[in-house]
């Protein structure tokens, strides 16, 4: 199982308090840029030091699993990233393999900035691919409760007002595609 968590604007002690009750031993940072202008406690070096003091390993996977790819082939004509294309790149696939390998020794949470899992690529992109590979995903929410990925997907389908089953295929996949198109990074051209 892999967990996800958003750092939001939590004080660092509160953030670590979200991880510890769930036995997290390693945090995979999937932010493309591991820094925060508004929440300096989540700058890569400060975060890594605070996690180490709490006995949690830190690994940066933003180059592999971040939503702001350097690969021009994953952007459309308008400069918007395509999560479908990004998920097929060798670099992204290597990031997924690193998570799968790390699961053998660690209880891993992948982290990005957004509080709400449905507003973040950690769910819409990374978790989607983990689930496709048969890896269960659970989201750690801001109140420290857990949400099964399947429940989060039900919320997403409901928010998009899609029937759970329809004539056009899987509602979850359609909802994920709609959310990805809404929130995908657009680079400046």
What does the alpha-carbon distance between residue 105 and residue 52 come to, in Å, rounded to a whole number? 17
Which pLDDT score, from 0 to 100, does residue 165 have? 62
Q: β-pairing, 146-148 with 137-140?
A: antiparallel
| Cβ proximity of 126 and 30 under 8 Å | yes
Which pLDDT score, from 0 to 100, does residue 160 have? 94
Distance of CA 61 to the CA centre of its chain: 11
Return the CATH number of 2-72+83-153, one of 3.40.1010, 3.40.50, 2.60.120, 3.30.70: 3.40.1010
Which pLDDT score, from 0 to 100, does residue 96 have? 98
pLDDT in tens, the chain (189 residues): 999 999 999 999 999 999 999 999 999 999 999 998 899 999 999 999 999 999 999 999 999 999 999 999 999 988 999 999 999 999 999 999 999 999 999 999 999 999 999 999 999 999 999 999 999 999 999 999 999 999 999 999 999 998 766 545 588 999 999 999 998 888 876
Integer-rounded Cα radius of gyration of the chain: 16
Domain ranges of the chain: 2-72+83-153
| Cβ proximity of 185 and 171 under 8 Å | no
DSSP three-state, residue 147:
strand
Count Cβ atoms within 10 A of the Cβ of residue 105 and give its class: 0-12 exposed, 13-18 middle, 19 or more buried.
exposed
């Amino acid at each position: 199982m892999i967990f996800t968590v958003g750092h939001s604007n939590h004080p660092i002690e509160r953030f670590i308090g979200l991880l510890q009750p769930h036995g997290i031993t390693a945090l995979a940072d999937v932010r493309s840029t591991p820094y925060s202008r508004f929440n300096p406690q989540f700058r890569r070096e400060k975060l890594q030091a605070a996690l180490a003091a709490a006995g949690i390993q830190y690994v940066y996977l933003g180059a592999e699993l971040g939503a702001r790819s350097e690969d021009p082939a994953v952007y459309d004509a308008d400069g918007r990233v395509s999560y479908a294309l990004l998920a097929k790149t060798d670099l992204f696939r290597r990031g997924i393999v690193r998570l799968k390998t790390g699961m053998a020794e660690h209880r891993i949470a992948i982290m990005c900035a957004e509080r709400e899992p449905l507003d973040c690529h950690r769910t819409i992109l990374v978790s989607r691919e983990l689930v496709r590979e048969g890896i269960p995903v659970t989201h750690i929410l801001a109140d420290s409760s857990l949400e099964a990925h399947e429940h989060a997907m039900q919320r997403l389908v409901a928010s998009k007002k899609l029937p759970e089953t329809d004539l056009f295929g899987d509602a979850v996949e359609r909802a994920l595609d709609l959310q990805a198109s809404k929130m995908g990074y657009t680079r400046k051209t």
